[in-house]
Structure 1
Amino acid sequence: MSKIIDQYRVTAEPYYHPVADEVELYEAAYSVRMPMMLKGPTGCGKTRFVEHMAWKLKKPLITVACNEDMTASDLVGRFLLDANGTRWQDGPLAVAARYGAICYLDEVVEARQDTTVVIHPLTDNRRVLPLEKKGELVHAHADFQIVISYNPGYQSLMKDLKQSTKQRFGALDFNYPSHDIESEIIAHETGVSTEIAEKLVSIAERARNLKGHGLDEGISTRMLIYAGSLIVKKVDAHAACRVALVRPITDDPDMRDALDAAVSTFFN
């Protein structure tokens, strides 16, 4: 057991700056093994928060990046053929339930609804996972918890969680941090000066104001860290912002010009 689960332990503290009472609320939720849903825009710190909490609680963390091709078998497990015949291999959800890890389903709405239904028996008082192909019922380990995340800004009638799924979870809302906190995060993660970090955050704030007015999504904290990392490597600030902030989020020439102008305002 230890060899299987030890690879998922978070051994070094992931840096996370609390923005409200999310740490205390999550700790309380974990104490009663409440399934949790993290809602917020791309790149605002949801995954880092889960990693930080797994480290803080000293629990292994199994992360699954959900996608539209993911099947229930990808989560639960399947029979595999090898030289000795067939053998069963647990999927990440089964491993987490069996051995007591936090299972984090990242961007869960990307998965098909018929796939996410398999988590239902684990998110109520039953806390079981039926392995129908194997004929086994896995009773979740006392330490097991399931956490899901998604970006409400992308939800549509075709891509949203069923109410029967949502109501099985407690929820924490995430957003981009305040100017000062985000600047501190950028400076800490990249090594740029506070002055440069504040300029990068100011550029992001201008871009976020354009969400819904030409941009589908604003510049994320993650993207600012990329830009800061390039600047630390002596890349010109304009070029770093062009590569890490502007070009990834839009192909529209006018929007690119507007964002390039914002960069020039702060890095003249």
Structure 2
Amino acid sequence: MAVFSQLNEARDLLFRERKAPAAEKSLGPLMKQAKSFSAEEQRALFELMGLALRAQGRFVEAAELYTQVHDYYQSGYCAMLQGKTQAMQQAWSRVLSQRQNHWCVSLYGLISGQLRTVPTIFQIRNHMESDIANLIAANRVEYLENYLNYVDFLTQVNLEAPKFAGRALMNAGWLDRAGKYLLQGQKALPNDPEIYFHLGQYSMASKHLKEARLMLNQCLLISPTYRPASDLLETLTDHSPETH
């Protein structure tokens, strides 16, 4: 259990502070002791270090760590982010030999434009947004475009799918693409306060402050206790510059 508690500092650096190099550095001493850890402890350590390396674009190193602890989904994921189709397929075939309905079979279909499965509502919720963000970060534009072509289909399974896509694109700074999907999300779930919050964020980023106020107020009309919307609304002032 001591190892797991020591991983918390690196998790905070990686996920809260977005400081992947610092997280990698904090894990260094534990990596030197890894052979003395239990299989469970070693897997947790290697997977966290893999994420820290992946966040820095060091996919080959990350994949090697994942392979050592038999995490073939993540090693294949690193191959995907490098655009190495054969290595990705080899890794994921090992996953599918154990779990035929694993997300990787749908993910491969999405990025290749050859989707032949119907993912579950929970798979879409758990993976879609991070997949899009990771493809953008790795500049795998062809994979990304193939993935986005399936948003309408995925919406038939999970009505939040366009929201996930729009949020990922917006957070990556792709405002010119994000708006379309956020509006689709509003159409799919017109009573979802979160979509109006994101439309408010999008409008603010686009310098359309009147529209931002409208969206944030609509969010609060549906859910008066939605604190992120009220906090963001407070940052808007009547003297802020605005475009129409």
TM-score by length of 2: 0.31
Question: Greater strand percent: which structure?
Answer: 1
RCO comparison, higher one (Cα < 8 Å, 6+): 1
Q: Greater helix percent: which structure?
A: 2
